[in-house]
Amino acid sequence: MPSPFPGMDPYLEARDVWPDVHASLITYLREDLQPQLRPKYVARIGERVQLSTISQSYVPDVLLFKRMREPAPALVTAEPLVADEPQVVAALDEAYREPYIEIIARKTGDVVTLIEVLSPANKMGDGREQYIQKQKDLLATEVNLVEIDLLGYGKETVLARNVIITEPADWRYLIDISRAGQRSRLAIYAVPLRGKLPNCTIPLRPPDADNASALRIPSH
């Protein structure tokens, strides 16, 4: 029986499944783009390290209780124990790696286009605020931005959040393209739940023509 979802299957949005989908989609996009970009450009996968707060509960191996009212008999030892001096380091929150795609001009090494596939952390809490700040910083540069949001939950985060989209009325997923030098014009693909994913326009550096990349969702 064919899938009722020819594009993005909402099952793949589950938090325990999404990290693998995200990494696979990034890889497929890069493989699709690479032959179209050569020899002038190259697509490269980059990685950011994101920090997240650990909220899970753990059962400790040792519990320390308050002292009893009546002191227990003390064991007699030859001499008191002295604690060794520990090495003190800064503890980090739990970290995870988030890949993205950079299209690089071979001749200069400049980043021409950045392709972001959003994760749950980009759409809620501090992670969303951090992403929006990076978004603002990037819009002040000469880098093209392509944002792909295939998650139906969380707050709207991509640039298209500032636009009223009426067609199609039942859209669930968003892809937008912001070109350097044309920030006031935003290209948008709005995709309904049962819609096919588009062949996206990937801008390069003028006068080079755009590339088209097919979004392929990995099978699970």
Interval 55-65: pLDDT, tens: 443 344 444 44
More confident residue, 176 or 85: 176
156 located within any domain: yes
Query: Does residue 114 fall inside a structural domain?
Result: yes
List beta partners, residue 190.
Answer: 174
Domains held by the chain: number: 1
Query: What does pLDDT average to over the chain?
Result: 83
Kindly state the average pLDDT of the residues 88-109: 77
pLDDT, greater one: 179 or 83: 179
Residue 80 resides in a domain: no
Structural domain span for residue 200: 10-52+90-214
Is residue 148, in this structure, part of any structural domain at all? yes
Question: What confidence tier does 112 reach under pLDDT thresholds 50, 70, 90?
Answer: very high
First to last CA, the chain: 16
Residue at 99 is within a domain? yes
Within-domain flag for 75: no
Q: Is 219 a member of any domain?
A: no
Length reported for the chain:
220
CATH of the domain at 184: 3.90.1570
Given this model, what pLDDT does residue 72 score?
Answer: 52
- Per-residue pLDDT reduced to its tens digit, 139-159: 999 999 999 999 999 999 999
- In a domain, residue 73? The reply is no
